[in-house]
């Protein structure tokens, strides 16, 4: 153990964030939290799995709406300089 105590190593491991994981803190009312728990339970999902699926689905819908408007995500909009020439 190179002269370090096991408790020191455990404390050090806890303080370092795990790579590849991101925390997302969502504030909601107690009623909304209860509803999320209930929906997740009905779908036999974890709360985080339920929320991630819900967010992914909403983003897909938003992307389709934007595409239908002609504003695909990441596509630069046609913009004109004040003199009438294009930025491209």
Taking residues 63-87, what's their average pLDDT? Answer: 67
- Mean pLDDT for the chain overall: 76
Q: Name the residue with tokens 């404390």.
A: 11
pTM comes to: 0.52
* DSSP conformation letters of 14-82: HHSPPTT---------HHHHHHHHHHHHHTT--HHHHHHHHHHHHHHHHHHHHHHHT--TTPPPP-B-T
Q: Does 77 have pLDDT greater than 60?
A: no
At 67, list the tokens: 């595409």
For residue 1, the model assigns a pLDDT of 45
Q: How far apart are CA 50 and CA 20, in angstroms?
A: 19
Tell me which of 5 and 23 has the higher pLDDT: 23
Structural domain boundaries of the chain?
A: 26-69
Q: What tens digit of pLDDT does each residue of 32-62 get?
A: 999 999 999 999 999 999 999 999 999 999 9
């Amino acid at each position: 153990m190179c002269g370090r105590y096991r408790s020191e190593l455990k404390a050090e491991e806890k303080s370092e964030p795990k790579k590849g994981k991101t925390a997302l803190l969502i504030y909601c009312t107690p009623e909304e939290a209860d509803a999320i728990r209930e929906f997740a339970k009905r779908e036999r999902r974890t709360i985080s799995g339920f929320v991630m699926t819900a967010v992914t689905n909403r983003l897909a819908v938003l992307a389709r709406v934007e595409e239908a408007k002609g504003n695909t995500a990441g596509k630069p909009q046609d913009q004109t300089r004040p003199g009438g020439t294009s930025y491209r």
